[in-house]
Amino acid sequence: MGGPTERERLVIHFYATWDCYIDVHKNMKLIFPNRFYPDNRIRGRKIYKIPDSSYPFTFDFTSPFGAEFIKVIASTIQFEDIEESFQRIGIASGRLITRGLNVNARPEQITEALISYTIIEKEKQ
């Protein structure tokens, strides 16, 4: 049976047609962006290899063993939860300063991808 084993490393390769931001829903484990690399902006028309040697982290397979999934969600508009802390800062003053100014979002384009893999326990020698 083939597949990654414990302590092996994962590298994800992907490509986006347009500049976008990546994120996961809150009920999943966020692996990128992360505390070592918080920037979630992805440039369009560039092949990414995450993590390569320039990133300050690795993706390492560990237990529990069995089937796993990685889901990528990308949007042309920054995700609201990432900007939430900034928006809370000036709500009261913002109502006074920008009363006659509307900021309207461009139509958002969202895509998702899902891959699966099975982690296999390394045989004891």
| Residues facing 41 on adjacent strands | 21
Does residue 64 have a cis peptide bond before it, meaning omega lies within 30 degrees of 0? yes
User: Are residues 50 and 32 in contact, defined by beta-carbon separation less than 8 angstroms?
Assistant: yes
pTM over 0.75: no
Domain segments of the chain as ranges: 9-119
Q: What is the pLDDT of residues 64-102, one digit of tens each?
A: 778 878 878 888 888 776 545 334 444 544 444 444 445
Strand runs (DSSP E) across 1-125, as ranges?
A: 9-10, 12-16, 20-23, 41-42, 46-50, 59-60, 66-75, 110-119
Please state the φ and ψ torsions of residue 21, each to the nearest 5 degrees. -120, 145
